[in-house]
Structure 1
Amino acid sequence: MPPTALLLLANLGRPRRPAGARAARAEPALPDAEVASAQLADVLDGPITTADLDDLRRLHRAAFDAAEALAAGAAPDCGPINALAAASTARPELTVDQGVPRRRLVWVDPSPAAALARRLVDELDALEPARLRHCARPECDLLFYDTTRSRTRRWHAEDPCGWRARQQAHRM
């Protein structure tokens, strides 16, 4: 399973050149609550308030730094992510599944940043660092997680980077 939240936060604010665009454009990372809600909609439920932005920006920076360190083969600084995740608490709850009692943890997150930091802890624990890479196309700086069995994926996406790199090689 790819580290969705880590990649989203690490790539947030980086220049992108969508298919058909003449130049790369960078969208500011978490500029206000409305835009932040849209930017983080894939990894957070519910809207973000202005009061949440400072912690989310700190988490964005920590995720960016952690992803860059892992992509470079270094150990990430876990302190900032742990500090934001520390506000989350869990309580055990007993449920019955097909007649068998099961324990599950119910998480309580006081803020969107705490929920996202907790998710990052889980994702960073489960990922294989060697699969986290930068796109091989020099004009692109996006990170991706290689999920191929052979670990040979080179571009963050086939469209536009894969076909642009092959097109450029063909022209030479």
Structure 2
Amino acid sequence: MEQDEAPRLTVVEPGQGREAPLGTIGVVFKLFGADTHEQLSIVEHPFPVGALVPPHIHTREDEYSIVLEGEIGFRSGERQAVLGAGGYITKPRNELHTMWNAGKVAARMIEIISPAGFEHFFWGLADHLEAGPPDAELIEKLAADFGLQFAEAPWLPDIISRYNLTPPR
């Protein structure tokens, strides 16, 4: 398919898409790069109460999040926000960021990833976690293959304490 052709029609009905655990949060796969000329991919992330995504840096893609349910906290660089349903936020590449359930009920968000490709990290991680206990070396290699870097964040203990979160392992 040439780049100037329209992507093929892809229909994802409500409730469709592989759902899998990613550790502290979940993932539901909606649109892959193959559906969008590799321009973007879309996943949904359910956030149980107390969920915290370890601080990390994407070196290849930007993320755009839309909160669907509950309240989700975001920290990207020096900016921090807690958004309820209908809130939008951008998380630029090469900037340390994290997300967490900031409320007392389960939360959910849509994640738009541009350019596409990182959805395959989620797929590989989901496969690995569904197969058995996490293997830190395998996860580290998978992250490196997708340009994902985990990092220490001096502000993380405050967020964990303030929102009564489960610390990352």
Question: TM-score w.r.t. structure 2 length?
Answer: 0.28
Larger RCO (CA under 8 A, 6+ residues apart) = 2
In terms of fraction of residues, the more strand-rich structure is 2
Bigger-Rg structure (1/2):
1
Structure with a larger share of its residues in helix: 1
